[in-house]
Amino acid sequence: MADRLRFLGEWPYAAMPELYPAADVVLGTSFVNETFGIALCEALACERPVVASDFGGFREVVRDGETGVLVPPWDPAALAAAIDALLADPARRRCYGAAGRRDVAARFGWDAVVARVLAAYADALDGAKV
């Protein structure tokens, strides 16, 4: 595995737009306190496919079989199989990456986020007693 995996250590946040495109696959393997997956959004925005734990907010970000693969948390065999499958299929990686960029822009771009926040405020105000 040493010839296929490289640990780069800590990098400044500003360098991430250069680092994500260098990855064949981006992993999100957390299983604790993940209310969202901003790093996964960033990877998808850089057209990188994602393999992530089917956990918490990761399921909101990764569309299994469309933008990446969700695997059961604490299942190293499933994680390894998903990584191997994507590494063996460059066309699938490109497809997931392109779909990920479109999906993240549509669902998590500022226009979409602002619209959801305003709708939540409107719903809250409709239910509020004045």
Q: Give the tens place of pLDDT for each residue, 70-105.
A: 999 999 999 999 999 999 999 999 999 999 999 999
Decide if 113 is inside a domain.
Answer: yes
pTM for the full predicted model: 0.86
Residue 8: predicted pLDDT = 84
CA distance 55 to 76: 15
Residue 22, domain member (yes or no)? yes
* Number of separate domains in the chain: 1
Report pLDDT for 50. Answer: 98
Range of the domain at 84: 13-127
The enclosing domain of 35 has a CATH number of 3.40.50.2000
Strands of 11-100 (E only): list them: 26-28, 50-53, 68-71
Q: What pLDDT score was predicted for residue 34?
A: 75
